[in-house]
């Protein structure tokens, strides 16, 4: 594994190894034995603001004995027009790894192409692999085994949904994605995930009916309906996604032990009801914490020498 950009490029065995390593690192996070990246430095480029991504990567590098540098695009030459290629080449001379949180997925691909150090996708408009790894770590903690579980996703077929499809397919889960037709997931990503799922004993189903997706689910998952950069669409999106709210009605269709996940930030009363997100089935803060442990596993596998 040279980079962590798109889960389609990660083998199923590598993904499962990351989950196992994340569990181990979580158990040993306050011991000196966990400081496996002593002397290493991670550069963190942020074109999009963040709470969980920035804090979890900074704390993760600190706990692993290394250092993280926060680099806003407005504080480095990218913000003044320097090319991704030149930035990648220069930063590779200083750093042991680069994490980038940005809009264009191509920017991440170009960093990896022109740089000589590992690149981690902290989020793009197309993919969010770090989130999906943390999500499945949370599910694994709740149910021990992932294979055969049903996860239902509701709302926008966005970057989170794309990475969840890929992650679930690698672990033999059954993914049911319910979105309005015009906000469906990428057809090519769905097709590739379906093929991968079939090889691993899982399945992918796409529907516009949230009730169908919720039936007998072990995990119910949603994300904000209005992501960064979509604020001008807020009123229209709220109207379109209204039937996709995760609420008591949907939870009642799931299995009695079902849990609720949300990658945060959440808007109570929109994509999820207060009764669900603050209720006994919610695991959102375990999920948020697991960003730290899952990303530490990625950092170790990419940067440990």
Q: Which of 101, 162, 262, 283 is catalytic?
A: 101
Query: Would residue 54 show up in a list of annotated catalytic residues for this protein?
Result: no
Query: Would residue 131 show up in a list of annotated catalytic residues for this protein?
Result: yes
Q: Which of 3, 52, 262, 291 is catalytic?
A: 291
Is 48:39 a contact under the CB 8 Å cutoff?
no
Distances (CA, A) of 239 to 161, 179, 181, 233, 250: 20, 13, 14, 10, 18
Considering only CA atoms, give the Rg of the chain. 19
Query: Would residue 291 show up in a list of annotated catalytic residues for this protein?
Result: yes
Beta bridge partners of 41: 67
Query: Would residue 243 show up in a list of annotated catalytic residues for this protein?
Result: no
Q: What is the DSSP letter of 37?
A: T
Q: Which of 3, 36, 52, 128 is catalytic?
A: 128
Residues 6 or more apart whose CB falls under 8 angstroms from that of 174 comprise 148, 149, 150, 151, 168, 197, 202, 203, 204, 205
Q: Which of 6, 96, 135, 223 is catalytic?
A: 223
Query: Would residue 185 show up in a list of annotated catalytic residues for this protein?
Result: no
Distances (CA, A) of 304 to 22, 101, 198, 296: 15, 22, 33, 11
Q: What six digits make up the tokens of 67?
A: 């250092």
Q: Which of 237, 263, 283, 295 is catalytic?
A: 263
**Secondary structure of residue 219 in the 3-state scheme:** strand
Query: Would residue 128 show up in a list of annotated catalytic residues for this protein?
Result: yes
Q: Which of 107, 130, 131, 135 is catalytic?
A: 131
Residues 6 or more apart whose CB falls under 8 angstroms from that of 136 comprise 19, 146, 167, 168, 171
Distances (CA, A) of 113 to 83, 123, 135: 13, 18, 28
Catalytic residue annotation: 101, 128, 131, 223, 263, 291
């Amino acid at each position: 594994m040279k980079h962590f950009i798109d889960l389609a490029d990660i083998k199923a065995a590598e993904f499962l190894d990351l989950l196992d390593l994340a569990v181990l690192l979580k158990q040993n996070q306050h011991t000196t034995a966990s400081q496996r990246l002593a002397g290493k430095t991670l550069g963190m480029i942020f074109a999009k603001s963040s709470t969980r991504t920035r804090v979890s990567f900074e704390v993760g590098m600190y706990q692993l004995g290394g250092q993280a540098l926060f680099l806003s695009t407005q504080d480095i030459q990218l913000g003044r027009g320097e090319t991704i290629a030149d930035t990648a080449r220069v930063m590779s001379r200083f750093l042991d790894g680069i994490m980038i949180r940005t809009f264009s997925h191509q920017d991440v691909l170009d960093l990896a192409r022109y740089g000589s150090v590992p690149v981690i996708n902290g989020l793009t408009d197309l993919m969010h692999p770090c989130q999906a790894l943390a999500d499945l770590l949370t599910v694994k903690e709740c149910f021990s085994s992932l294979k055969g579980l049903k996860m239902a996703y509701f709302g926008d077929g966005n970057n989170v949904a794309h990475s969840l499809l890929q992650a679930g397919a690698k672990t033999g889960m059954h993914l049911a994605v319910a979105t309005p037709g015009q906000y469906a997931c990428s057809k090519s990503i769905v097709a590739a995930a379906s093929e991968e799922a079939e090889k691993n004993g899982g399945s992918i189903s796409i529907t516009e009916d949230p009730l169908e997706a919720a039936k007998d689910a072990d995990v119910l998952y949603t994300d904000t309906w209005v992501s960064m950069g979509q604020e001008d669409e807020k009123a229209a999106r709220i109207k379109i996604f209204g039937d996709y709210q995760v609420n008591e009605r949907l939870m009642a269709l799931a299995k009695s032990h079902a849990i609720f996940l949300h990658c945060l930030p959440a808007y109570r009363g929109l994509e999820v009801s207060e009764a669900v997100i603050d209720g006994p089935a919610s695991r959102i803060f375990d999920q948020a914490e697991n960003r730290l442990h899952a990303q530490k596993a990625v950092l170790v596998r990419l940067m440990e020498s």
